[in-house]
Amino acid sequence: MGTARKTEKTGAGEPAGGLQGQAEHAPKLQAVAPDRASYRTIGPEAEGQRLDNYLIRIAKGVPKSHVYRIVRAGEVRVNKGRVAVDYRLAAGDQVRIPPMRLAERAPTPLAAIPAAAMPPILFEDEHLMAVNKPAGLAAHGGSGIAFGLIERVRAARLHQPFLELVHRLDRETSGILLLAKSRRALLGLHEALREGLVEKRYSVLVQGDWVNDRQHVRLALTKYVNRHGERRVSVDAEGMESHTVFSLIKRYGRFSLLEADLKTGRTHQIRVHLSHLGFPIVGDDKYGDFELNKHIARGTLISKLPRLARMFLHAGAMDFKHPVTSRPLALEAPLAVECREFLKGLSED
């Protein structure tokens, strides 16, 4: 097992040292073919995965019903024997895959993904990667988005056999995003998140004069679709239990800088909790003060105050145990330049 390392710089691009050696040792995977059986040796990236989920992943476009049929019919063999669809794969397993015709799709060409768009890497070892996601970049492609952060990282690491998002951040939110480089790490971090063993703290600038130095907010949340067909979240006593702890960092006149400590991880939790309390996040285009946001984005709110054309919500710190080594990790992502400049402008006002 390699040694975990932190990068010395958080600038864009690959960190010094890289993982060039992976290219020489990356497994050569035989493609699923429409006219002949193919064979694969299971590596650590798929260890512990159910057979049906593995087949669905590598044979995108093949109906799930067909995958289940060929397994039950014995056309898929593991170590030359028949297995059930819920068989858990082990490293070194030899899997025979019968001929399968994949749906014709036009994936986004890797050449179309910016080569220099790798986000700053905060931490990396052979199981885990933590990056500093910029605001405005979706965590993944879809819904009209050709590619997101995970696609960029995969394009930059063509020989990395396994790369999956551990969790997500809103497109408008910047900061720490975890990616798993092994299934063991992915499952371990998912369990830690479910058990509340991952501490996540956000920097957030709100409109209003926040009163309490520390305040627990427990407001249940529910999802709904508005009349424009857009997904939203609102406070609802019948919704999912949600808990955020807000701490006052500094007051800036009509604004307050807070630290938000997430105790649960509901969609838009911080944004909706603050909006419901009457302290909308600066730049929030879903739950914020739209007129105020417009002036801030144009730079017309206060003379000489820098413009800010994004939401001021940043996932700045994350503490947890490494999912494989159990080593304590304390990750930090620096606040974006535009946010620092905006706070500086408020201080000088």
Catalytic pick among 35, 52, 93, 170: 170
The Cα–Cα gap between 172 and 9 comes to 24
Answer yes or no: are the C-beta atoms of 170 and 135 closer than 8 Å.
no
Strand-pair category, 313-321 with 174-180: parallel
What distances in angstroms separate CA 100 from CA 37, 63, 64, 95, 104, one per listed residue? 8, 11, 12, 14, 12
Alpha helices in 159-268 (DSSP H): 183-194
The Cα–Cα gap between 212 and 154 comes to 44
Answer yes or no: are the C-beta atoms of 132 and 119 closer than 8 Å.
yes
- CA 235 to chain CA mean position, Å: 24
**What angle (nearest 5°) sits at the alpha carbon of residue 268, between those of residues 263 and 272?**
90
Containing 247, the helix (H) or strand (E) segment is strand 243-252
Rg (CA), the chain: 23
Find all residues with CB under 8 Å of 104, minimum gap 6, and list them: 61
170 is catalytic: yes
Sign of the Cα pseudo-torsion (246, 251, 255, 257, in order): negative
Strand-pair category, 121-124 with 128-133: antiparallel
Helix (H, G, I), strand (E, B) or coil at 320: strand
Token pair for 126: 């052979």
Phi, psi of 87 (to 5 degrees): -60, 135
Token pair 């998002």: residue: 165
Which positions are catalytic? 170
